[in-house]
Amino acid sequence: MIPYLARLLDITMNKNVIPSDWKKAIVVAIYKRGDRSLVGNYRPVSLTSVVCKQMEQVIAGYVRKVWKMSGWLYEGQHVFRPGYPWESQIVTVCQDIADSLDEGVRTDATIIEFSKAFDLFSHDRLLTKMAATGVDLRAVVWEKEFL
């Protein structure tokens, strides 16, 4: 299967188009917490093409590799990086606060809720930043089609 998937990725990247079937999704509501009768307590999840998800993982892996090689990723960034779950971010923050308290250093904290942040950011701005970090423009265009 890998040679066929590689050929599909090559075709979609070089023609700057993603098949329309790959963009179709079945949206399922996943319960988060709280009162099950309230719509706000559910998160929509899009079930998309398995092939498209594989292509997305290849592109994401490539982007992470470029960013790692260029030193663009901040080491403190835990979420959305393999091997850096959000739980480790919490442990790191708690350890930093504990170290500051032990050293008698004043510690200020600002807590920001980012649960809806992905819904609010500008795709064009993200794509412009991706291109500026050295990511191959074909991958940027692929992401634009994906988004």
- Distance in angstroms (rounded) separating the CA atoms of residues 145 and 23: 9
Question: How many other CB atoms are there within 10 angstroms of residue 38's CB atom?
Answer: 8
Among 143, 117, 140, 119, which Cα is nearest to 46's?
119
Q: Please, what is the average pLDDT of the chain?
A: 85
Among 54, 45, 46, which Cα is nearest to 18's?
54
Q: Is the pTM of this model over 0.85?
A: no
pLDDT tens digits along 13-43: 888 888 888 888 899 999 999 999 999 899 8
State the DSSP string of 79-130: TTBTTB-HHHHHHHHHHHHHHHHHTT----------TTHHHHS-HHHHHHHH
Q: What are the residue boundaries of the structural domains of the chain, listed by start?
A: 2-78+112-146
> Is the pLDDT confidence value at 92 over 90?
no
- The pLDDT value recorded for residue 80 is 66
> Is the pLDDT confidence value at 113 over 80?
no
